[in-house]
Amino acid sequence: MFAFNFNNTTMHIFYGKAPLITFLKSIKIGDSTIGFVPTMGALHQGHLALMKKSLQENDYTVVSIFVNPTQFNNPEDLAKYPRTIEEDIKKMTALNPEIILYAPTVEDIYEGQTVSQSFDFDGLENQMEGKFRPGHFNGVGTIVKRLFEIIEPTNAYFGEKDFQQLQIVKKMVSKNNLNVTIIGCPIFREANNLAMSSRNERLSIQERSEAAIIYQTLTAAKEKFKTNSAQWVTEWVRKSFEKNPSFSLEYFVIADEATLLPCFKKNKNKKYRAFIAVFINNIRLIDTISLN
């Protein structure tokens, strides 16, 4: 264990699972609860909101910072993923020094075999992110399951920006009968409504400001979906991005929130959500909005 001292407050930091497990066993008494916030670091207000919720709802809060190599299908994306551990520790200490941090090495997690397990998420993995980032959700499933085994949380907190990931984690928990409650939390947005993401750190000031178009498009699509079909709205979004040379649209999909299958014919009993992925200067941004 390592104790980080900032402004005279000390935070528990673990780089290996063995001392973390021993520590958690020593503090967990009776029916005390552990809230868990898994992250890949480069912490922003969205992450801190998940931590605040966990701190409010649990006796202990564990946060993990681990840039998981098996969920990256693009080596450049993995290499360029922001790594800001010292800043992250300062932010967490300022929020609440009682947060317990697990920042493992690749070796500590994968023990020499940096590969994903293969999962069946009942088809949720074949849409959107799964289609465009092959192997991504096997990597996410592998790391989240591994972290749950190590930390044994009572509650785990995930942001709705990665809505497909949230549904997939819920599916994994129910299929494997894992004893953890998954809690989805609303998207945090910057002043111009760009969804907060660690990848935003890679945007220039100009790109960050231009990226406001993503949420503007989603809210316009929501409005248009009231009176138009999913196909019509999808085509409208495609054409809007065609006019904007700064962006390349990877996908825009209107899908059933539960199954994530694309909507072909509206059914008033279903809940729909729009999902978008765009590139700006090779930086990939995603966002989502509930439509009804």
Beta pairing partners, 11: 4
How buried is residue 5: exposed, middle or buried, by Cβ count under 10 Å (0-12/13-18/19+)? Answer: exposed
Classify 125 as helix, strand or coil: helix
Cβ closest to ligand PAF, residue 162 vs residue 210 = 162
Interface with ligand PAF, residue 288, by CB under 6 A: no
Q: Which is nearer to ligand PAF, 42 or 237 (CB)?
A: 42
Residue with tokens 């074949």: 126
Site for ligand PAF contains 250 (CB under 6 A): no
DSSP state of 68: -
Q: Does 39 bind ligand PAF (CB under 6 A)?
A: yes
Q: Nearest to residue 57, comparing CAs of 34, 86, 84?
A: 34
If one asks whether residue 254 binds ligand PAF (CB under 6 A), the answer comes out as no
Q: What is the DSSP letter of 189?
A: B
Q: Binding to ligand PAF by residue 51, rule CB under 6 A?
A: no
Report how far residue 48's alpha carbon sits from residue 42's, in angstroms, rounded to the nearest whole number: 11
- Pick from 51, 63, 100, 140 the residue near ligand PAF by CB under 6 A: 140
Kindly report the CA angle at 172 between 134 and 261, in degrees rounded to 5? 60
Considering the candidates 12, 44, 47, 136, report the single residue annotated as catalytic.
47
In the annotation, is 47 catalytic? yes
- Interface positions, 58-77, toward ligand PAF (CB under 6 A): 68, 71
Torsion from C-alpha of 39, 43, 48, 51, nearest 10 degrees: 30
Considering the rule CB under 6 A, would residue 144 count as an interface residue with ligand PAF?
yes
Contacts of 133 (CB under 8 A, 6+ apart): 73, 74
Using CB under 6 A as the binding rule, whether residue 195 contacts ligand PAF is answered as no
Q: Does residue 40 touch ligand PAF according to CB under 6 A?
A: yes
Q: Is 141 in the site for ligand PAF (CB under 6 A)?
A: no
Residue at 125: amino acid letter: E
Among 143, 172, 194, 213, binds ligand PAF (CB under 6 A): 143
Contacts with ligand PAF by CB under 6 A: the residue count is 10
Interface map 80-109 toward ligand PAF (x if CB under 6 A): ------------------------------
Which range, of 49-57, 139-147, 178-186, 200-208, touches ligand PAF by CB under 6 A?
139-147
286: contact with ligand PAF by CB under 6 A: no
Residue 155 is a binding residue for ligand PAF (CB under 6 A): no
38 binds ligand PAF (CB under 6 A): yes
SS3 content of the chain, % helix, strand, coil (to 5): 45, 25, 35
Contact 241, 247 (CB under 8 A): yes
Tokens of 101: 């941090």
Return the active site residues: 47
Which residues contact ligand PAF by CB under 6 A? 38-40, 68, 71, 140, 143-144, 162, 165
